[in-house]
């Protein structure tokens, strides 16, 4: 006697479920492996090429050679900064998109990076502060003020807060703060000299002590962002549903805003206002993970430094022995993606 047809169709379904459950952890490990490889390539590539085998040997057993001086004095700090700043910008973008429910949200497009830049120029040009550790606090203040202003402006008028209004508010605040930053930089020659190089976005010129000063702020911001993942999932269903599930939407938004401020302020203080990383990376991560923030945030944290390091490596290769700053390379990648995303959303709105 043959078994019922239902038994034949139910049993095989368990295998795809287990496969789907293992897919994201496996991809996360593969992404981490790709990031490690990019770190080694970043250390190897430059005006003087260093073979990968020699890079690994130098990292494991430091010797008093010229290659060691290049690796530990220049390229390891540069790569570490790419890791830290990329992870911070990717996480900040993912959190902003989740909080605003706006796929166009990005620290560079929503005024947060411009606020950090304005805070730093005020510290240097107006108050005469030269210490990076002191200017970081001004970067945080500028990022926080910009975030609050954008969110308030985006909530004004009929209909409350909408993705389109937030995007328009972000563009307006970005232009306003960028204009103020440029005016202040022109007044102070010292601020102008530092601002010209810093504003293009670069991973060069920072040492390990500088990175270690910023790292605690980025670590706290990352912990706040990752811990908010489950709550952001609930918030995506609407404030009423989130509240019925035991969440407090106001506190979730406050936690997310604090995370974005720490991540963006710390990153912008050392690498400059690099745009599009926080926009492009969450969309790439969403293709892999779907909308679940518990996986989207860690993937964004790993994919963003991959993008930043690839852009930095490309900038060193295409203009050797000179280099193109990483912010310019990322803009070339991000701008077409942003245009395509806007066109796709516009077509979706016209057909619904």
What 3-state class would DSSP assign to 85?
A: helix
| Cα gap 302→298, rounded to integer Å | 6
How is residue 4 annotated by DSSP? P
What pLDDT, on the 0 to 100 scale, is given for residue 204? 84
Q: Which CATH number does 95-346 carry? A: 1.10.3470.10
**pTM summary value:** 0.84
Instruction: Give every CB contact of residue 178 below 8 A, 6+ residues apart in sequence.
Output: 114, 117, 118
What is the residue-averaged pLDDT of the chain?
82
Residue scoring higher pLDDT (85 or 12): 85
What pLDDT, on the 0 to 100 scale, is given for residue 345? 57
Of the candidates 254, 261, 264, 265, the one whose C-alpha atom is nearest the C-alpha of residue 231 is 254
What pLDDT, on the 0 to 100 scale, is given for residue 1? 45
Q: Give per-residue pLDDT as tens, 195-231.
A: 777 777 888 878 888 889 899 999 999 999 999 999 9
Of the candidates 319, 335, 325, the one whose C-alpha atom is nearest the C-alpha of residue 47 is 319
| Per-residue pLDDT at 20 exceeds 50 | yes
Of the candidates 38, 30, 56, 33, the one whose C-alpha atom is nearest the C-alpha of residue 312 is 38
What 3-state class would DSSP assign to 253?
A: helix
| Per-residue pLDDT at 5 exceeds 50 | no
Q: Give per-residue pLDDT as tens, 245-271.
A: 888 888 888 898 889 889 988 898 888
From the number of C-beta atoms within 10 Å of its C-beta (0-12, 13-18, 19+), residue 30 rates as exposed
Instruction: Kindly state the percentage of the chain with pLDDT values over 70.
Output: 88
- In this prediction, residues 268-294 reach a mean pLDDT of 88
Given a contact cutoff of 8 angstroms between Cβ atoms, the answer to whether 95 and 236 are in contact is no
Q: Give per-residue pLDDT as tens, 60-110.
A: 887 777 778 888 888 999 999 999 999 999 999 999 899 888 787 888 777
Q: Give per-residue pLDDT as tens, 297-345.
A: 999 999 999 999 999 999 998 877 788 888 889 888 877 776 776 666 5
Domain ranges of the chain: 95-346
Instruction: Give every CB contact of residue 280 below 8 A, 6+ residues apart in sequence.
Output: 307, 333, 334, 337
Given a contact cutoff of 8 angstroms between Cβ atoms, the answer to whether 265 and 116 are in contact is yes
| Cα gap 137→133, rounded to integer Å | 7
| Per-residue pLDDT at 32 exceeds 90 | yes
| Cα gap 102→181, rounded to integer Å | 27
Of the candidates 316, 311, 341, the one whose C-alpha atom is nearest the C-alpha of residue 328 is 311
């Amino acid at each position: 006697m043959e078994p019922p047809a239902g038994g034949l169709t139910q049993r095989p379904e368990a295998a795809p479920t287990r496969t789907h459950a293992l897919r994201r952890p496996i991809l996360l490990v593969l992404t981490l492996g790709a990031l490690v490889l990019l770190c080694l390539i970043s250390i190897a590539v430059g005006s003087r090429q260093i073979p990968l085998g020699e890079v690994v040997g130098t990292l494991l057993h430091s010797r008093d050679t010229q290659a060691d001086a290049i690796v530990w004095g220049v390229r390891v700090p540069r790569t570490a900064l790419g890791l830290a700043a990329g992870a911070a910008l990717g996480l900040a973008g993912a959190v902003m998109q989740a909080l605003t429910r706006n796929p166009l949200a990005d620290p560079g497009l929503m005024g947060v990076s411009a606020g950090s830049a304005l805070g730093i120029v005020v510290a240097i040009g107006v108050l005469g502060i030269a210490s990076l550790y002191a200017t970081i606090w001004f970067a945080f203040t500028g990022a926080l003020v910009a975030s609050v202003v954008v969110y308030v402006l985006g909530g004004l008028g009929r209909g409350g807060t909408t993705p389109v209004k937030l995007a328009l508010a972000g563009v307006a605040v970005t232009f306003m703060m960028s204009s103020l930053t440029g005016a202040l930089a022109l007044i102070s020659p010292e601020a102008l000299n530092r601002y010209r190089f810093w504003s293009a976005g670069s991973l060069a010129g920072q040492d390990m002590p500088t990175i270690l000063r910023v790292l605690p702020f980025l670590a706290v911001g990352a912990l706040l962002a990752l811990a908010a993942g489950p709550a952001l999932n609930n918030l995506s269903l609407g404030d009423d549903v989130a509240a019925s599930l035991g969440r407090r939407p106001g506190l979730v938004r406050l936690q997310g805003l604090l995370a974005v401020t720490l991540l963006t302020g710390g990153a912008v203080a050392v690498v400059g206002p690099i745009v599009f990383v926080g926009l492009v990376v969450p969309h790439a991560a969403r293709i892999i993970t779907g909308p679940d923030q518990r996986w989207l945030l860690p993937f964004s944290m790993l994919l963003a430094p991959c993008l930043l390091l690839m852009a930095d490596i490309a900038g060193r290769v295409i203009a050797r022995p000179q280099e193109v700053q990483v912010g310019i390379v990322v803009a070339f990648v991000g701008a077409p993606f942003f245009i395509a995303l806007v066109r796709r959303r516009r077509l979706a709105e016209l057909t619904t």
